Amino acid sequence: MIKPISIFFLSCWLFLLMVPVKVDAQEPLETQAFLEGKRGANDWYLSTVNILLRTRDRLSAPQSVTYWIDQSEPHRFEYQPPQNPITNPSFEKGFLTQPSYWVQSDPPSEDATLWRTQTEVFDGYYSVATYVYQAGNFFWDNSDFPFTVIPGELCTISIYIKTENLVGDGSWIEVWDQKESGDSKIYTSQKISGTENWQMLAFSFVIPPEAEKAYLKLVTQAESGITFWDNIFCTISFHEASTSFTFGTSGNHTLYFFAENTEGGKEDTRQLDFKIDTQAPDFDPYFGTIFDEQNQTYTGTIGVSDVNSGIKVNSAVFRSYPDINSEWSAWIPVLQVSPASDGFTDEVHLQSQPVFFPSGITGSFQFKIDDVAGNEGQSSKINTSKAWFQLEGRGELYTQGEVVANSLPPQGNYNLLENAFSQQGIQNIISENERTVSHYTGDSQQLTLMIKSFRNLESKARKVQDGIVPSVDGIYLFSQPITLDDNSLTIGFEKAQFSAVIIVEGTLRIKKSFQLAPESRVVWIVLGNVEVEGAVSEIAGVYLVDGSFKSNVDNQSGKSLAVYGSVLATQEIELTRDLGLDENNLQPAEKFIFDPAYFFDEKLLGFLCNGRLYQWEEE
């Protein structure tokens, strides 16, 4: 005969076999990717992006995350479990009887004494003590140095405690949540009283929601007796961890990533597609005009390209100067965009509508167009004024292509004191010594060989993984194009004192002004173009460019550019800034301030010359 209780259990098993059981479908190990940056049109990012990878494991703890972009090498990041967050947990730091980072209640001297002692110690050299003479509540706390907590995680705290003849409620630990609105108690441990030799007082609790900072109180509430405290330890189990890095290469990209946990579990590889276009449409530095003798009108023409997101053809407009009111005209649609069969294309040619300028006045054109991502590009303003550049000091300007400026400097001014070297030609440049050199060959070959020889430094360079420009001594490599902006240039880069060689494989785009500390030196070896945006007013370093140097790549400049260093380029040096009619008569649009200290920086020379020492002698 089956007993009733057995029938009950049998029925339960049959129920479980027959009825579907709902289970949690959420993966125990999951990584999510979050992108942060300036958003443009059509899901494009217009800036470098900060990529946050957040891993959560409901069963154990995240151990690592591996990620890569496109065809780059995978990078494995090891998550680190939280260390003991308590500052000075064993009271070893301090001065005489006062431990560092801890404060005591302030009882009258006849009630209790609280001090740092060496008489009774569990481990190390010091502990803290609370000696009660008269009944009261006394404590130590570290409220001035709280520690970070994670809501929902398990927190375990332990401390060694010793009591002697402790009469009253006893001694215990309290955990407090610290907030601007007021502190609140999270947890109270068991109480120890009487006489007990060193023993561990340990407890665990779940950190409540919205808690961010916590601190401890080592409480003694007694009529008499003494308590010693030593070796506090706090561990917070973590089911969530994250890491972040920046990425700024323009184009269409795919991020791949997966995580592993401490139990050997591995997440399936995930992927996230994203698009970056940090560059406005690129106008040709020069454009032509077509004169119609019959109607006495001019038509302006210019080429423009955008290899990342493409040109938004229907956004092309132009304006002219002066109009009938001797002002810039309004922006109006261009007459023709060619070719433009698909509405979006990488490279087009713009033609303005015919414009009549007042008799005897040279007119100017300017074009404007958007790319698909939402970047706006403007062409330079031709003949609006006499913009010019200047090289200060005794440095020289080298390029294998052309050295091109908008126009000659005002009368009585010079572009440079020494030579400008160009293999293809020199336009609108005057040397005080009247010595400009063009169509040379010797220095051209030397410049090419020099930059090629410096490429050998790549094998000794430290590869930059996080996109942040380093600010300590060394040789560094960016294996992809980089944009210098708020994400990649930290405050420390401008304030630190260091010497560095930074190699960039691709375009160096400069969107942010920056300087260097007086004793700092940086040589940029750029295997591509250096593109300075018009909003940038100052940059620093020696630029060895296997490409072109462009001072106003987005044609947005109304301010001068100071280059604290030198520029050597194997292709063109384009100096196309324009300060406006009045300012151009007062100062150069581009100013190169030569720094001879680069010749004598021993650390920098050691990096560039493979550790060989050079001795300079005056001839």
Does residue 23 carry a pLDDT above 70? no
pLDDT of residue 66: 97
Buried b (16+ CB within 10 A) or exposed e, 498-516: bbbbbbbbbbbbbbebbeb
**pLDDT digit string (tens) for 94-126?**
999 999 999 999 888 889 999 999 999 999 999
Q: What is the DSSP letter of 498?
A: -
Rounded to 5°, the CA angle 169-173-177 comes to 125
Between 216-225, 313-322, 478-487, the lowest mean confidence (pLDDT) is in: 313-322
Helix or strand (DSSP H, E) at 194:
strand 192-206
Q: What mean pLDDT is predicted for residues 251-257?
A: 96
473: left (phi over 0), alpha (psi -120 to 50) or beta: beta
Sequential DSSP letters for 464-493: P-SSPPP-SSEEEEESS-EEESTTTS-HHH
Does residue 131 carry a pLDDT above 70? yes
Round to the nearest angstrom and report the end-to-end CA distance of the chain.
118
pLDDT of residue 242: 87
Does residue 239 carry a pLDDT above 90? no
Q: What is the DSSP letter of 597?
A: G
Residue 221 CA to chain centroid, in angstroms? 51
Helix or strand (DSSP H, E) at 422:
strand 420-422
Residue 189 CA to chain centroid, in angstroms? 44
Rounded to 5°, the CA angle 170-173-177 comes to 140
Q: What mean pLDDT is predicted for residues 71-87?
A: 89
Q: What mean pLDDT is predicted for residues 446-452?
A: 67
209/604 Cα distance (integer angstroms) = 52
201/190 Cα distance (integer angstroms) = 8
Percent of the chain residues topping a pLDDT of 70: 79
Q: What mean pLDDT is predicted for residues 444-467?
A: 77
Percent of the chain residues topping a pLDDT of 90: 50
Q: Please, what's the largest Cα pairwise distance for the chain?
A: 121
Q: What mean pLDDT is predicted for residues 364-371?
A: 91
pLDDT of residue 531: 96
Give residue 446's pLDDT band: very low, low, confident or very high (50, 70, 90).
low
71/149 Cα distance (integer angstroms) = 38
Q: What mean pLDDT is predicted for residues 191-206?
A: 93
524/536 Cα distance (integer angstroms) = 17
Phi, psi (deg, nearest 5) at residue 603: -65, -45
437/211 Cα distance (integer angstroms) = 70
Q: How many CB atoms lie within 10 A of CB 458?
A: 15
Helix or strand (DSSP H, E) at 65:
strand 62-69
307/346 Cα distance (integer angstroms) = 5
Give residue 613's pLDDT band: very low, low, confident or very high (50, 70, 90).
very low
519/583 Cα distance (integer angstroms) = 32
Closest CA to 137 of 160, 171, 103: 171
pLDDT of residue 431: 63
Does residue 308 carry a pLDDT above 80? yes
Token readout for 406 is 């908008």
pLDDT, mean over the chain? 82
Higher pLDDT, 49 or 431: 49
Alpha-carbon torsion (524, 526, 530, 535), positive or negative? negative
327/290 Cα distance (integer angstroms) = 22
Residue 516 CA to chain centroid, in angstroms? 17
Strands (E), 207-346: 213-236, 240-247, 251-261, 270-276, 282-283, 288-292, 297-305, 311-321, 332-333, 336-338, 344-345
Closest CA to 171 of 136, 119, 134: 136
Higher pLDDT, 405 or 514: 514
pLDDT of residue 104: 92
pLDDT of residue 460: 87
Between 194-198, 253-257, 286-290, 390-394, the lowest mean confidence (pLDDT) is in: 390-394
Does residue 264 carry a pLDDT above 60? yes
Higher pLDDT, 358 or 532: 532
Which residues, other chains included, contact 67 with Cβ-Cβ below 8 Å and sequence gap of 6+?
53, 74, 75, 77, 255, 256, 257
> Domains plus CATH for the chain?
30-80+239-276 (2.60.40.10), 94-236 (2.60.120.260), 282-383 (2.60.40), 444-609 (no CATH)
Q: What mean pLDDT is predicted for residues 35-64?
A: 91
